[in-house]
Chains A and B, each alone.
Chain A
Amino acid sequence: MLIFELSRPGRKNPSQAPAAPAEANDIPAHLLRRDKPLLPEVSEMDAVRHYTRLSQKNFSIDTHFYPLGSCTMKYNPRGSHQMAMLPQFLARHPLAPEATGQGVLACFHELQEMLKDVTGMAGVSLTPMAGAQGEFAGVAMIRAYHASRGDAARTEMLVPDAAHGTNPASAVMGGFTVREIPTDRDGNVDLAALKTAVGPQTAGLMLTNPSTLGVFEKNIQAMQQIVHEAGGLLYYDGANLNAILGRVRPGDMGFDVIHVNLHKTFSTPHGGGGPGSGPVGVSERLLPFLPVPVVTLDAGRYRLVTEHDLPQTIGRLSAFMGNTGILLRAYAYARTLGGEGMRRVADFATLNANYLMAELQKAGFDIAFPQRRASHEFIVTLKSLKDKTGVSAMDVAKRLLDKGFHAPTTYFPMLVPECLLIEPTETESKQTLDAFVAALKEILEEALATPELVKSAPHTMPVRRLDDVKAARELDLTWKA
Chain B
Amino acid sequence: MPFIPHTEEEIQAMLSSIGTASIEDLFDEIPPALRAGQLSNMPPALNEMAASRLMQERAEADGRYLNFIGAGAYEHHIPAAVWQIAGRGEFYSAYTPYQAEASQGTLQLLYEFQTMMASLTGMDVSNASLYDGASALAEAVLMAVRAHKSARRVLVPGCVHPLWRGVVEALVKNQGIELVAVPYCTAGGDIVADALKQFEGQDFAALVIQQPNFFGVLEEVDELTNWAHAQGMLVIGAVNPVSLGLLKAPGQWGSKGADIAVGEGQPLGAPLSSGGPYFGFMCCKQALARQMAGRVVGRTVDLDGKPGFCLTLQAREQHIRRAKATSNICTNQGLMATAATIHLALLGQDGLARVASACHANARALVEQATAVTGVERMFSEPFFHEAVITFDAPVADVLRALEAQGILGGLDLAPYYPELGNALLVCATETKTEADIARFVENLARIVARQSSAPSCTRLKPTATSKW
Contacts and interface: CB of A to CB of B under 8 A. Distances in A.
B404 A274 contact: no
B345 A63 contact: no
B96 to A, nearest CB: 4
Given A218-B29, A470-B301, A143 B174 contact: yes
A351 B1 CA distance: 15
A472 to B, nearest CB: 5
B462 A100 contact: no
A90 B169 CA distance: 29
Nearest to A52: B85
Q: Which of B171, B344, B383 has the most chain A CB atoms closer than 10 A to its own CB? A: B171
Nearest to B92: A269
Contact of A21 (B102, B319, B358): B358
Interface stretch (B111-119, B226-234, B451-459): B111-119
Contacts of A26: 364, 383
B53 to A, nearest CB: 10
Contact of A28 (B4, B325, B383): B383
A309 to B, nearest CB: 10
A200 B135 CA distance: 33
Contacts of A334: 42
Contacts, number: 708
A104 to B, nearest CB: 5
A88 B64 contact: yes
B96 A97 contact: no
Given A221-B31, A272-B338, A476-B300, A58 B6 contact: no
Contacts of A263: 331
B248 interface: yes
A320 B348 CA distance: 29
A448 interface: no
Contacts of A81: 87, 92
A322 interface: yes
Contacts of B62: 88-89, 92, 100-104
B195 to A, nearest CB: 19
A95 to B, nearest CB: 5
A100 B64 CA distance: 9
A215 B324 CA distance: 27
A31 B34 contact: no
B104 interface: yes
B322 A168 contact: yes
Interface string B393-409: 00000001000100001
A192 interface: no
Contact of B99 (A59, A116, A129): A59
B289 interface: yes
A326 B111 CA distance: 25
A31 B349 contact: no
A276 B352 CA distance: 28
Contacts of A221: 31, 33-34
A79 B272 contact: no
A135 interface: yes
Contact of A79 (B48, B97, B163): B48
A351 B15 contact: yes
A306 B44 contact: no
Contact of A273 (B63, B96, B353, B409): B96
Contact of A44 (B42, B47, B64, B81): B81
A108 B333 CA distance: 21
B274 interface: yes
B329 A472 contact: no
A232 interface: no
A362 to B, nearest CB: 8
Given A83-B55, A88-B59, A275 B310 contact: no
B468 A130 contact: no
B9 to A, nearest CB: 9
A372 B18 CA distance: 12
A334 B314 CA distance: 35
Interface string A11-37: 111001111111001111011111111
Interface in A86-115: 86-104, 106-107, 110, 113-114
Contact of B103 (A59, A117, A275, A467): A59
A215 to B, nearest CB: 7
A426 to B, nearest CB: 5
21 contacts: A18-B431, A22-B361, A32-B246, A32-B248, A42-B345, A60-B90, A62-B90, A83-B56, A88-B64, A103-B57, A133-B328, A164-B318, A165-B325, A173-B175, A271-B93, A293-B467, A318-B275, A319-B275, A351-B15, A358-B17, A478-B119
Given A16-B79, A99-B465, A120-B36, 15 more contacts: A25-B361, A37-B119, A53-B105, A54-B109, A90-B271, A103-B61, A129-B277, A247-B27, A272-B106, A319-B264, A339-B39, A348-B4, A464-B306, A466-B301, A475-B125
